[in-house]
Amino acid sequence: MSAESELLPVEDARARALALASPLPTEWARLEEALGRTLGAEVLAQRTLPPWDNSAMDGYAVRSADLSGPLPIRLSIGETIHAGSTPRVELRPGTCARIMTGAPLPTGADAIVMQERTRPAQGADGPAVEILEAVPPGNFVRPRGEDARAGEPLLARGTPLGIPELGLITAQGMFTVPVPRRPRVAILSTGDELCRADEAPDGRIVDTNAPSLALAVARAGGLPTLLGIARDTQEEVSTRLADAQGFDVVLTSAGVSVGERDFVKAALQEQGVELNFWRVAIKPGKPLVVGRRGATVYFGLPGNPASSLVTFELFVRPVLRRLLGHTDVEPPRVPGRLDGELRKAPGLAHYIRVVASWRDGELWARPLATQTSGALRSTASATHLLHFPREASSLAHGGHVVLLPVSWGT
């Protein structure tokens, strides 16, 4: 049995990480701060919307029964109703009202004839219109209460709050909603070779993992806090991890493999973190470690920048979504075609960084020229990750593939 056959499959690793997380306690948040979260409680409508039947078209409000004879049919125009005004005249048989989109229907009207299906006319008693088609009751009518009825459920608990949902809530005159609070995420980099961007390098390299992960956390709905850089001793890594108490998620980068100075795993255990798994059958990102202490979930991410972002996408982001109350937390997947050829040895699932574009009605994925894990440039242009299955050894040009859109792109 090969060593790689003993590694945890990606799907199992993600399921185990997700099992460590539950939606966070609910808080009341302003609508602009609730986007991307989920409702922590059912919301009842406070208002009936629309409050009256109204027109979905510029045209004429009619009694549909008046249009049963031979066409065209001439009707007298009783009034013109603009959006924001109130009808003044009840429709009598043989009459209609000029009406604009959004305006309330006058009493007696049950249908709208769109303007394009009419032509101007002159009646004996004043302005008239010729109707060129018969319409059924309800034609181009937006009925009262179509969006909401006061006292009835508007949105269920757990509903993801996108722009339309927040628009519905705004229309109810509400300014705050109950939502799980944002996950607080601590981020710690490790490594003697690292320095901050505002420090003189002096033979070191600038830490890009922590700021990149902080941006990824914020985009996923979390609140990142940078804990700095821990040097390569178990004592310092452990001390810095002790500063992470009270956070919902802790991310470290580097120090999780089998090198002489890879102390993160031991430091986590020293801090009382119960490790759930270590090492996943994936490239990039194999030396991933995940555990929990109390309600805090810990991720020891690999140190290479590309590995750090890929493992965030596949494992950390789903956990953040679970904490925010989402039930659909798996990375999204879309079908595509491979623009090129790929080969590898079986044993690890590869997630290839690709640029995908539409061609002839299909999404074609072109692998980036370099797939190295140590440089951000090999990640910067990627729009998707292409899943190269664990036991597969080759993917042919034009073959069907599974693509995962990345959240770190523009």
* Per-residue model confidence (pLDDT) at position 126: 86
SS3 annotation, 96-135:
EEEECCCCECCCCCCEEEEHHHEEEEEECCEEEEEECCCC
| Higher-pLDDT residue of 1, 59 | 59
How close are the terminal C-alpha atoms of the chain, in Å? 43
DSSP 48-100: -BSSS-EESSSEEEE-GGGG-SSSSEEEEEEEEE-TTS---SPPPTTEEEEE-
CA gap 370, 304 in Å, rounded: 14
- pLDDT tens by residue, 29-67: 999 999 999 999 999 999 999 999 999 999 999 999 999
Share of the chain above pLDDT 90, in %: 89
* Per-residue model confidence (pLDDT) at position 1: 44
Average the pLDDT over 165-189 and give the result.
97
- pLDDT tens by residue, 113-168: 999 999 999 877 889 999 999 999 999 999 999 999 999 999 999 999 999 999 99
* Per-residue model confidence (pLDDT) at position 259: 73
Would you place residue 211 in the very low, low, confident or very high pLDDT band (cuts 50, 70, 90)? very high
Q: Which residues pair with 142 in a beta bridge?
A: 54
Mean pLDDT, all residues of the chain: 95
Q: What is the pTM of this model?
A: 0.89
- pLDDT tens by residue, 346-380: 999 999 999 999 999 999 999 998 899 987 888 98
Tokens of 361: 């009605």
Pairing outcome for strands 73-81 and 126-131 = antiparallel
